Amino acid sequence: MTYSEIVRQAGIYFSSALDLEFVLTVLNSEASKLWAKNSYINMDYDKIVTVADQAAYTVDTGCIVSKIQDKILLSDDATLADANFTIYTKQMPTDVVIRSSSWYPISATKIGLYPVPDTSGYYIIVPHNKKPTTITMDNYDTLEPEFDSAFHELLVHGLVSELASMETNIDIEIAINAIRKYNGIYSDMVIFYKPSKIKNTFIHKTQGATLLIEIAKTL
């Protein structure tokens, strides 16, 4: 379901025409709120190549350091199929000597590793929460929500509940019904994604296959 279809379905609930630019602003807000509270639906995984004796690395476009998960991996194999891993746990910079493998934020787009890799060609696997693509007048006809299509209707009801709660379109009955539908779909989505089962799993997609690397909770 594209965002234009979401807007069209939401518009059915209102007798008067809606201002499209304003509707997209509300829709962006709804998408951002959904992603902010549900990190398990917008996980992504970046891969950075090490340089010998280099501590600092710039993360890929679309990755924000503040959204990186607590643990990242250092892999000696590009495919991860037969890799040996070092787990780096997040630690803020400190004057105290770091006694374990750690990564730390340097800036909004750069991280540091300790100990510093002594070999080039290893791969830093960085799991992070990506930001939703901003919905605009130019892309809403083709852009789709970046989570499973079975739950795209969630944004229809989220948009309707917000619009129907505003003074210019206020309709309490429509707003309440939309919230009920939203909550029902949301509950199904939480079960579908099973965050309790995937929160300690790194997922790396390569050549159409999905490789799961289980990270023990005790590490």
Could you report the per-residue pLDDT of 8-37, keeping only the tens digit for each?
999 999 888 889 999 999 999 998 888 777
| Average pLDDT, integer, range 52-62 | 89
Q: Please tell me the predicted confidence (pLDDT) of residue 82.
A: 73
- Residue after which a domain boundary falls, among 80, 111, 130: 130
199 pLDDT higher than 50: no
Residues 171 and 185 in one domain: yes
Q: Which domain holds residue 23?
A: 3-40+131-195
C-alpha distances in angstroms, 52 versus 35, 40, 65, 83, 119? Answer: 36, 33, 22, 18, 4
Counting Cβ atoms within 10 Å, is residue 139 exposed (0-12), middle (13-18) or buried (19+)? middle
Query: Could you tell me which residue, 51 or 145, shows the higher pLDDT?
Result: 51
C-beta neighbour count of 128 within 10 angstroms? 22
Chosen domain end from 112, 130, 148: 130
Question: Does residue 26 lie in a domain region?
Answer: yes
22 with 86, same domain: the answer is: no
Whether 135 and 35 share a structural domain: yes
pLDDT above 80 for 198? no
Residue finishing a domain among 74, 95, 130: 130
On whether both 29 and 103 belong to a single domain, the answer is no
pLDDT at 96: 54
Please determine, for residue 102, whether its predicted confidence score (pLDDT) is greater than 60. Answer: yes
Asked whether residue 202 is assigned to any structural domain, the reply reads no
User: Is residue 149, in this structure, part of any structural domain at all?
Assistant: yes
Residue 163 half-sphere exposure, CB side, CA atoms within 13 Å? 29
Give 170's pLDDT tier (boundaries 50, 70, 90).
confident
Q: How confident is the model at residue 94 (pLDDT cuts 50, 70, 90)?
A: low
Residue 209 lies in a domain: no
Residues 173, 153 within the same domain: yes
- Written as one string, the DSSP assignment of 178-207 is HHHHHHHHHHHHHHHH-HHHHTTEEEEEET
